Amino acid sequence: MANIYKNTQFNLTTTAKTDVYTCPTNRTALVKNVHAVNYGGSTSSISAYIYDSSASTEYQTDEHTLSSKAAQDISEGLFVLESGDIYRLEGANANAFSGTMSILEIFDEKSA
């Protein structure tokens, strides 16, 4: 089965952790890039987490502080997500961050 290139957008309207992407069943996902912009009126921080569904544990992967109207790649390196894993983002201020993720989903024939 073919690989699927995807993107997903996000807009963090709350200060709670927000599920941005969940790796589908029978897939492995390579998260190549997570680009965020602080569209708010003040400097704010954004944090990234991966929930490992096989371990039922969440891990923080990144944290950045961005000035107002600044943009940055907040994923420093490639992330591999397995089926059921979740990529989450959390902004220190509500209605301050939006952005996009670039993902390659690979069909896992062993799980099908």
Cβ-count burial of 40 within 10 angstroms (0-12 exposed, 13-18 middle, 19+ buried)? buried
DSSP-derived letter for residue 69 is T
Looking at residue 28, its pLDDT comes to 95
Structure tokens at 47: 């944090």
Instruction: Yes or no: say if 73 and 34 are a contact pair by the CB < 8 Å rule.
Output: yes
Rounded to an integer, the average pLDDT of 29-46 is 97
Rounded to an integer, the average pLDDT of 23-44 is 96
Whether the pLDDT of residue 109 is over 90: the answer is: no
Whether the pLDDT of residue 73 is over 90: the answer is: yes
Amino acid at 20: V
Rounded to an integer, the average pLDDT of 60-71 is 97
How many CB atoms are closer than 10 A to CB 36? 26
pTM: 0.93
Whether the pLDDT of residue 6 is over 80: the answer is: yes
Domains and CATH numbers, the chain: 4-107 (2.60.120.40)
